[in-house]
Amino acid sequence: MTGELLGFIDACPPPFPGVERAHATLRSAGFTEMDEAADWDDTAGSRFVRRGGSLVAWRHQTCEAGFRIIGAHTDSPNLRVTAQPDAGRAGFRQLGVEVYGGALLNSWLDRDLGVAGRVATPSGPRLFCIDRPVLRVPQLAIHLDRDVSQKGLLLNPQAHLTPVWGLGLQTPGEFAAVVAESAGVAPDEVLAWDAMLHDLTPSTAAGLDGEFLFAPRIDNQVSCWAGLQALLHAPADAVPSAVLCLFDHEEVGSVSAHGAASTLLPAALERIAGSRGRLLPALTRSMCVSADGAHATHPNYPERHEPNHHIAIGQGPVIKRNANQRYATDALGEAAFAAACKKAGVGHQLYVHRADLPCGSTIGPFAASATGIPTVDAGVAQLSMHSAREMCGSQDPGDFALALSAFLRAAA
């Protein structure tokens, strides 16, 4: 199980190649792809639809008992290549980047970085992935930054994060040429790109007794993996209908053409139901789990956590509550997901953010407001959230998958 999850995380990074991989897994499990631009006369059985870096998959016969939905996000904070990236200084060839989402900037320093994503070509989009260490953001030596240990590391995202990728003079069009080769097209066919950097250190089981996983993108590939496992193990004629949605753009607020606040999920549910008349009553019998990483209590900073809501690695899925609806869970949702954990034979924990710190959010409130479906925010406990290299427990992802499976099978 752990090896399978680590392989899932290390395969070329999301959102685009990641959704491609989920799509390949679904296809080999017998799911049929639907085209958003075509009529859907039959949505029964195992199907999926893609839009950009997002995907909705389902197992469905009738929606009379409503939908059981698992949502997760495919994107992670990272560095993204700019539109005119060719740059250089002091004898180095460099690549212009922007910061995507709330990345821990220091975690991108001194790493072996590859680059992956999607290019627009005259014959349509092509994916590419350069999985060798072509890039590095070198940290300033301590001899040139004497106060760094006392005053902390200050990084200006415009000035200090530009990676190096060669020596000599950067020629205009160099990035396009490199990407073209990887995508298998001619350089003049590369019209534009969505390209992002990724750390190449392989994911690994770790700790004295293998109790940890050290990996990139645990937030939120662990939830994508667990949700995919739950859907694959659901019967093709699942009642209630089982739905998995993997959304792009959570890390930048979910408001986009295919993020959790988009029409993707409501439109897919309406088409699965067959009509708005059938959909609306089905929504009242439905429930959603928004699956995303949760903060384990950090042993070096226990004072940053709410003292009555200690979260431990290895103690099962975490249900997240927030009075101000940064998480969508209410009392009934908490009770329902706790019951699913119990049915699966795994524990559960309750997370509340400190009252004197602003709370993060996730796709839960967006999915809930777009569909009107009661939603529970839950996930796997982890440390180093939004670092290029995160960590979680080795037992928890499998336990979360079991809890999500039990949730899909529970009557609404």
Q: Which residues bind Co ion (CB under 5 A)?
A: 219-220, 292-293
Instruction: Tell me the β-bridge partners of 86.
Output: 95
**Complex with Co ion: residue 69 or 363, whichever CB lies closer:** 363
Structure tokens at 124: 């349509």
- Using CA atoms, how far apart are residues 411 and 56, in angstroms rounded to an integer? 21
The residue among 290 and 297 lying less far from Co ion, judged by its C-beta, is 290
Residues 6+ apart with CB under 8 A from 63: 240, 241, 272, 273, 274, 278, 279, 282
Q: Cβ closer to Co ion: 121 or 262?
A: 262
CA dist., res. 198 & res. 135, Å (int): 9
Question: Please, which residues have CB within 8 angstroms of residue 46's CB and are 6 or more apart in sequence?
Answer: 26, 29, 30, 31, 32, 57, 58, 59, 236
* Distances from the Cα of 410 to the Cα of 59, 238, 358, angstroms: 15, 10, 34
Q: Give the position of tokens 């982890």.
A: 382
CA distance 97 to 81: 4
In the complex, what is the shortest distance from the CB of residue 362 to Co ion, in angstroms, rounded to a whole number?
Answer: 6
Distance CA 243, CA 230 (A): 10
CA distances from 349 to 346, 367, 400 (A): 10, 23, 12
Q: Which is closer to Co ion, CB of 14 or CB of 293?
A: 293
Q: Which is nearer to Co ion, 20 or 292 (CB)?
A: 292
User: What's the min distance (Å) between Cβ of 29 and Co ion?
Assistant: 25
Structure tokens belonging to residue 152: 């902390």
Closest approach of Co ion to the CB of residue 317, in Å:
15
Angle at 53 between CA 111 and CA 412, to 5 degrees: 115
Smallest distance, Co ion to C-beta of residue 9, A: 14
- Choice between 43 and 362, CB closer to Co ion: 362
CB of 364 to Co ion, least distance (A): 11
Q: Say if residues 18 and 25 touch (Cβ distance below 8 Å).
A: no
CB of 73 to Co ion, least distance (A): 6
82 or 107, CB closer to Co ion?
107
SS3 content of the chain, % helix, strand, coil (to 5): 30, 30, 40
In whole angstroms, the minimum distance from the beta carbon of 325 to Co ion comes to 17
**Smallest distance, Co ion to C-beta of residue 248, A:** 12
**Rounded distance between C-alpha atoms, residue 294 and residue 383, angstroms:** 8
d(CA 136, CA 123): 32
- Shortest gap between Cβ of 219 and Co ion (angstroms)? 4
Q: Which is nearer to Co ion, 292 or 390 (CB)?
A: 292
- Identify which of residues 220 and 286 has a Cβ nearer to Co ion in the complex: 220
